[in-house]
Chain A
């Protein structure tokens, strides 16, 4: 395969054909922030935080998935790019509880995001807590909809397809099919989704409840009770 020559922030660089702008930029030690991108998954290009300016393009391009072309001229940190990143991080911050996502918080601070612009009492997306299995909890109030869990569950790792995307627009969310409890789904509890979650929406159950002040004995008791109730011999 032949190589591709392009310019990133004025620096001429040669990379193998088929590389993404992100890969090319990282070779030059350029830091492009990413949120939904995971090196082992197909880039869904949906968080848009990695957008860069490609000369003569109508709109900004996501660096994680845009393939380099000969003669391409890319600006990774222009004023337009910075404004867009600030706006995007503001949107995320105003819609999702980012308290368990220190990386994204750091980006938001770095780009000067002011979610307060959306008003003093921002209403974030609120979902019930799903504590329906012994292994992990699902707290979608913290879900940034990066899809990594769906990719891990599906075609990028596990091929289990227990969770998928549901709903539209602002109400779009991750769910099991027909929203059944996880034990009734095809989930095999491989844990790949928990591993991939960048914002603490998926967490080992023990970790979650310990964080919420439950001690280990209490936690074990609760689980036993729950298990008995489930199997129908509560007495």
Chain B
């Protein structure tokens, strides 16, 4: 029997050197005349051990990482040779097929990423061999209304961050008048430190297409857009391949699987604006306009793309759908909490031992995810806080680690579930400087349409800069708080409405750090220079340049 050697070759694996490892393995296979096949897979999620190599021989699986081209011969010797020359046992990540001996992987519950790192994402056959498009076949036997009832019963909520019940959203779109109806997958993942959508698309693109097809059937949509950021070239390529393969197979196009349903996919690459993750801005971008949000209501479900009923869901939301159809809504709901079913993926990064993509059941306490899966802060340091939901989210201190990961529970703390970014920091990070980083991001990414976001976020950044340079007074802090309220309540879209969250939560949980900067002119973490610095208002000057000047 032929052996299989899997190499994780998603963007993360490639960045760690997976291509060189694959070359080294194929050279070894040739030289040793091995009966082995190399399989380029997606990412298993254990990014901290990349490049990952899994060797499957006679039903035995061993996962190694990190593997360099130099280590390849030694690893292959473990299976196809005799020598022990210099092999180190700590290269072994797991010796079991189900990875139950590696806590990072064993504690996870994988639904949407169940095939990532297992199958070859370039191969439709691999997906079909693992139950691919069975959910679609099953779904076509139900009526659209029955599918919506199933999704409602599963307690699936929108994974983009806001957590709107998916079944309800689908029902509104189904009932809305107008044709054709559109369905959009929002894969414009822009939060710093977030890579859930990328990993899912690169590891298992057909699951997303299948979820969208089921959604399209339930809502009566005939056209689907995949809005993917252009910074994900591999994901875009994978989707193009997958759409072509699925069309040839007969699950995309006209009269899908003989059901009479028609559906076609379009890929739209985002040009790098964070605000285009906001649904109305995203739709304007697809329509060819400048990506800027407009007022809701009217909501896209009734008045969306080109004024027609449009459903927008996140990658993970769609990717959850096939499993709900196959395993039933009760199974899915039972994984999560009473209010929301299923799992949520998180991009665990920052000052953490084991970074990577984690899929956990909704309701898992933060502590379990950060310490038992992620291994806690890097050695010698102390865990200080975790930022959930990127620049729109909030920052939670160690004291709140027993909070369950659920929409309501997180909202009660001032943070949000968000799309899944989870950035951890240790005691070397200054929380004021940390908040300042996020405000620098949002004020830069603001589209500049409404006043509170355009001016307010810049003013907030200026005030934070003033604090980190030791020039602020208590009045400035009070002023900052009231400014936060105006920006939150007054902004036009979600970007501005959530922009103050990093400040509000750090102020709530780390007020002493702010006060140390203001009253004692001292940065407890030793990060801020506190030297007064350049006049901070310099930041406020506007720049204007012509295209010719930019090119010069």
Known: A67-B297, A84-B486, A126-B542. A170 touches B491 (CB 8 A): no
Q: Contact at B455–A84, with CB atoms within 8 Å?
A: no
Q: With an 8 A cutoff between CB atoms, is A145 at the interface?
A: yes
Total interface residues on B, CB under 8 Å, equals 46
Q: Contact at A51–B490, with CB atoms within 8 Å?
A: yes
- Report Cα–Cα, A62/B547, bound state, in Å: 35
Q: Contact at A170–B448, with CB atoms within 8 Å?
A: yes
Q: With an 8 A cutoff between CB atoms, is B101 at the interface?
A: no
Partner of B479, one of A117, A121, A180: A117
Q: Contact at B455–A92, with CB atoms within 8 Å?
A: yes
Known: A59-B490, A123-B537, A127-B544. A91 touches B448 (CB 8 A): no
A149-182 with Cβ < 8 A to chain B: 164-165, 167-173, 175, 178-180
Q: Contact at B544–A128, with CB atoms within 8 Å?
A: yes
Partner of B540, one of A48, A80, A170, A179: A170
- Report Cα–Cα, A178/B551, bound state, in Å: 12
Q: Contact at A169–B457, with CB atoms within 8 Å?
A: yes
Q: Contact at B445–A48, with CB atoms within 8 Å?
A: no
Interface range on chain A: under 10, 10 to 19, 20 to 34, or 35 or more? 35 or more
Q: Contact at B295–A65, with CB atoms within 8 Å?
A: yes
Inside 8 A of B379's CB, which chain A residues have their CB?
A: none
Partner of A92, one of B447, B451, B458: B451
Q: Contact at A179–B290, with CB atoms within 8 Å?
A: no
B535 to chain A: closest residue by CB = A121
Known: A59-B497, A118-B459, A173-B544. A47 touches B451 (CB 8 A): yes
A67 to chain B: closest residue by CB = B297
Q: Contact at B546–A47, with CB atoms within 8 Å?
A: no
Inside 8 A of A58's CB, which chain B residues have their CB?
A: 497
- Chain A 64-107 interface 0/1 with B at a Cβ cutoff of 8 Å (1 = within): 01110000000000001001100110011011000000000000
Inside 8 A of B335's CB, which chain A residues have their CB?
A: none
Inside 8 A of B447's CB, which chain A residues have their CB?
A: 168-169, 172
Inside 8 A of A128's CB, which chain B residues have their CB?
A: 544
Q: With an 8 A cutoff between CB atoms, is B152 at the interface?
A: no
- Chain A 181-206 interface 0/1 with B at a Cβ cutoff of 8 Å (1 = within): 00000000000000000000000000
B511-536 with Cβ < 8 A to chain A: none
Partner of A45, one of B295, B456, B479: B295
Specify the main secondary structure of chain B where it touches its partner: helix
Inside 8 A of A45's CB, which chain B residues have their CB?
A: 294-295, 450, 492
- Chain B 474-517 interface 0/1 with A at a Cβ cutoff of 8 Å (1 = within): 01000100110110111110000100000000000000000000
- Chain A 141-153 interface 0/1 with B at a Cβ cutoff of 8 Å (1 = within): 0001100000000
Q: Contact at B450–A47, with CB atoms within 8 Å?
A: yes
Known: A84-B486, A126-B542. A170 touches B443 (CB 8 A): yes
Q: With an 8 A cutoff between CB atoms, is B349 at the interface?
A: no
Partner of A66, one of B292, B295, B462, B482: B295
Q: With an 8 A cutoff between CB atoms, is A232 at the interface?
A: no
Q: Contact at A94–B488, with CB atoms within 8 Å?
A: no
Partner of B537, one of A122, A169, A178: A122
B463 to chain A: closest residue by CB = A118
Q: Contact at B541–A172, with CB atoms within 8 Å?
A: no
Q: Separation in Å of the B428 CB from the closest CB of chain A?
A: 29
Partner of B445, one of A144, A168, A178: A168
Q: Contact at A175–B544, with CB atoms within 8 Å?
A: yes
Q: With an 8 A cutoff between CB atoms, is A14 at the interface?
A: no
Q: Contact at B486–A169, with CB atoms within 8 Å?
A: no
Q: Separation in Å of the B299 CB from the closest CB of chain A?
A: 12
A48 to chain B: closest residue by CB = B490
Instruction: Known A-B contacts: A46-B492, A51-B489, A119-B537. Give 4 more (CB < 8 A).
Output: A123-B538, A165-B448, A169-B444, A178-B548
9 smallest A-B Cβ distances: which pairs? A172-B448, A87-B486, A91-B455, A179-B546, A170-B458, A169-B446, A125-B542, A123-B540, A46-B450
- 9 CB contacts below 8 A, A to B, read A49-B451, A62-B295, A62-B492, A91-B452, A122-B540, A165-B290, A167-B448, A170-B542, A178-B547
Query: Chain B interface (Cβ within 8 Å of chain A)?
Result: 273, 290, 292, 294-295, 297, 443-452, 454-459, 462, 475, 479, 482-483, 485-486, 488-492, 497, 537-538, 540-548
Query: Chain A interface (Cβ within 8 Å of chain B)?
Result: 44-49, 51, 58-60, 62, 65-67, 80, 83-84, 87-88, 91-92, 94-95, 117-119, 121-128, 140, 144-145, 164-165, 167-173, 175, 178-180
